């Protein structure tokens, strides 16, 4: 199977045998998705969900007054599972910012209870497409004419449908193969309302595990990212920036912008095919040496973006990357990027070196500087840091690490369960590292699926040293 040139965060449709994937969804779901893009429809749906959850939380609060501690814990777990399913079900029917924030929230394991984060993970799957009549109107409004006039060929059937837009293949009048990313109407206008409702839902019953000021910063970070992601002219600028930065890396391909067929809400890019992760796993041509090379190149590209460009592609969804048998990596979708201030970059360097050198006093200080270690929170023993560092260091150390055999995710989940309540008042997520953490966590799974065996510490130390020159 080949990846065709652009994918948004949650779109995982594929070319070839899977081309019909979005249209296999029912017409009824299409209509439901369309209704929930209107302001009135969205407000009604979100308000209904909030009221339902608030009622359940209130009932639980009364009931727990008459329960044993064991029964309280059991009922709270049941409540959280129900809330997670209800939120995921509702957001899964909707387009726009609220679904996008739900997807991001599903990756924030240290912000949400695991029952809710697990339920929200379904939002990472492909979304039902919009009717082509909506796409046609949007193209006419943005580019001034019908798709049939602007393009020699335009496929009505999308191969990727996501929360804020969908992607169609096309051929320009000059015969160039392209992909056309079209934003759904009224998405920008719904951001504030959507985020207010989702924040209120997540705050019900004390579901969030962070201080109010930290939550403000996290939602501001997400909102800023969303605003950039909804500005396709800004995404075009990102593409040009990253293409220039990687100009001397022939093994990294980034699509080019077709300016004459792009606008604020329509983005036309050159078609850049490649194999998805499933194809890589199934194709014997991708032997161990080639997979290792792909993993090393991916790590090198992202590390240099973080420490040298100070701007990183921060959407690690596997649909945004493709691979070729000659060792080339194709990188798609530059709507979500993270600019890293110098002070945060310095903190990342200090944190990494403290972990390598097992200097846990210095490590804790960096965590305090980043706001991860709560000011005034209960003291934390050095053994706590040793345990976490021993888990997290091996994938980035000098000895080759076998990602295919990795059980790091299982060990981290177990460690979190064992320590989360004991140190609940000592730590919290930080808006300053939120998106970088998303990059690292997402690409851990990419390396696992590629089956990479590599030692990344020499690469990382070299890149950090060069970033300080």
Q: Give the residue from 338, 372, 402 where a domain finishes.
A: 338
Residue 368 falls inside a structural domain: yes
256 and 368: one domain? no
Residue 446 falls inside a structural domain: no
Residue 318 has pLDDT above 80, yes or no: yes
177 and 259: one domain? yes
Domain count, the chain: 3
**pTM summary value:** 0.77
119 and 200: one domain? yes
Give bridge partners of residue 274 from the DSSP assignment.
Answer: 3
265 and 237: one domain? yes
296 and 407: one domain? no
- The answer to whether residues 126 and 22 touch, using CB atoms and an 8 Å cutoff, is yes
Q: Which one is predicted more confidently, 4 or 181?
A: 181
Which range marks the domain in which residue 137 is found? 2-18+130-186+230-338
Residue 437 falls inside a structural domain: no
| pLDDT tens-digit series, residues 113-126 | 666 777 666 666 65
Percent of the chain whose predicted confidence (pLDDT) is above 70: 78
Residue 468 falls inside a structural domain: no
* Rounded Cα distance, 246 and 349, in Å: 22
Residue 465 falls inside a structural domain: no
286 and 161: one domain? yes
Catalytic machinery residues: 315
pLDDT at residue 125, rounded to an integer: 61
Q: Give the residue from 338, 364, 395 where a domain finishes.
A: 338
Nearest CA-CA partner of 338 in 445, 464, 208, 242: 242
* Rounded Cα distance, 115 and 120, in Å: 9
pLDDT band of 217, cuts 50, 70, 90 = confident
Q: Give the residue from 292, 321, 338 where a domain finishes.
A: 338
168 and 284: one domain? yes
Rounded to 10 deg, the angle between the 457-467 and 288-304 helix axes is: 20
Percent of the chain whose predicted confidence (pLDDT) is above 90: 48
Joined tokens for residue 305: 């973006």
374 and 311: one domain? no
320 and 428: one domain? no
Q: Which one is predicted more confidently, 325 or 219?
A: 325
Give bridge partners of residue 275 from the DSSP assignment.
Answer: 2, 323
| pLDDT tens-digit series, residues 132-142 | 999 999 999 99
CB count, 10 Å around CB of 45?
20
Q: What is the CATH number of the domain that holds 147?
A: 3.30.200.20
Joined tokens for residue 78: 């049941």
162 and 235: one domain? yes
| pLDDT tens-digit series, residues 396-442 | 999 999 999 999 988 887 887 777 666 767 888 888 888 898 899 88
Residue 455 falls inside a structural domain: no
- Would you give the DSSP letter of residue 129? P
- The answer to whether residues 87 and 54 touch, using CB atoms and an 8 Å cutoff, is no
Residue 325 falls inside a structural domain: yes
How does DSSP assign 304-328, residue by residue? HIIIIISEEE----GGGEEE-TTS-
Residue 461 falls inside a structural domain: no
**Phi (first) and psi of residue 330, to 5 degrees:** -105, 130
Nearest CA-CA partner of 75 in 86, 65, 60: 60
Of 90-104, 231-245, 348-362, 413-427, least confident by mean pLDDT is: 90-104
215 and 237: one domain? no
| pLDDT tens-digit series, residues 448-462 | 999 999 999 999 999
* Rounded Cα distance, 28 and 438, in Å: 34
213 and 326: one domain? no
pLDDT band of 11, cuts 50, 70, 90 = very low
């Amino acid at each position: 199977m080949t990846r065709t040139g652009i994918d948004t965060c949650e779109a995982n449709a594929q070319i070839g045998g899977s081309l019909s994937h979005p249209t296999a969804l029912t017409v009824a779901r299409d209509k439901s998705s369309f209704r929930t893009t209107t302001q009135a429809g969205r407000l009604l749906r979100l308000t209904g969900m909030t009221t339902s959850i608030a009622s359940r939380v209130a009932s639980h609060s009364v009931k727990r007054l008459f329960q044993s501690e064991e029964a309280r814990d059991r009922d709270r777990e049941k409540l959280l599972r129900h809330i997670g399913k209800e939120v995921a079900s509702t957001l899964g029917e909707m387009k726009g910012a609220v679904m996008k924030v739900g997807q991001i929230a599903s990756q924030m394991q240290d912000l949400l209870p695991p029952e809710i984060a697990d339920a929200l993970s379904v939002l990472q799957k492909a979304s039902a497409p919009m009717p082509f009549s909506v796409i046609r109107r949007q193209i006419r409004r943005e580019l001034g004419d019908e798709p049939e006039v602007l393009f020699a060929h335009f496929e009505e059937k999308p191969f990727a449908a996501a929360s804020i837009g969908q992607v169609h293949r096309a051929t320009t009048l000059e015969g160039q193969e392209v992909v056309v990313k079209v934003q759904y109407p009224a998405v920008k206008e719904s951001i504030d309302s959507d985020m207010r409702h989702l924040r209120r839902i997540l705050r019900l019953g004390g579901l969030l595990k962070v201080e109010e000021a930290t939550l403000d910063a996290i939602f501001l970070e997400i909102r800023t990212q969303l605003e950039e992601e909804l500005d396709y002219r800004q995404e075009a600028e990102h593409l040009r920036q990253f293409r220039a930065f990687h100009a001397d890396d022939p093994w990294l391909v980034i699509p080019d912008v077709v300016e004459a067929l792009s606008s604020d809400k329509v983005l036309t890019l050159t078609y850049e095919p490649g194999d998805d992760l499933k194809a890589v796993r199934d194709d014997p041509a991708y032997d161990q040496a080639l997979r290792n090379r792909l993993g090393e190149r991916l790590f090198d590209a992202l590390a240099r973006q973080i420490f040298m460009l100070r701007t990183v592609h921060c959407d690690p969804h596997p649909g945004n990357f493709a691979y070729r048998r000659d060792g080339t990596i194709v990188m798609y979708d530059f709507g979500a990027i993270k600019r890293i201030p110098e002070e945060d970059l310095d903190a990342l360097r200090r944190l990494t070196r403290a972990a390598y050198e097992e200097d846990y006093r210095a490590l804790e200080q960096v965590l305090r500087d980043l706001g991860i270690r709560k000011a005034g929170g209960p003291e934390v023993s050095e053994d706590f840091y040793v345990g976490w560092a021993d888990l997290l260091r091996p994938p980035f150390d000098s000895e080759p690490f076998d990602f295919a055999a990795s059980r790091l995710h299982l060990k981290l989940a177990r460690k979190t369960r064992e320590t989360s309540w004991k140190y609940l008042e000592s730590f919290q997520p930080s808006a300053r590292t939120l998106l970088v953490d998303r990059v690292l966590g997402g690409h851990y799974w990419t390396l696992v699926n590629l089956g990479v065996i590599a030692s990344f510490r020499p690469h990382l130390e070299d890149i950090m040293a060069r970033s300080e020159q």
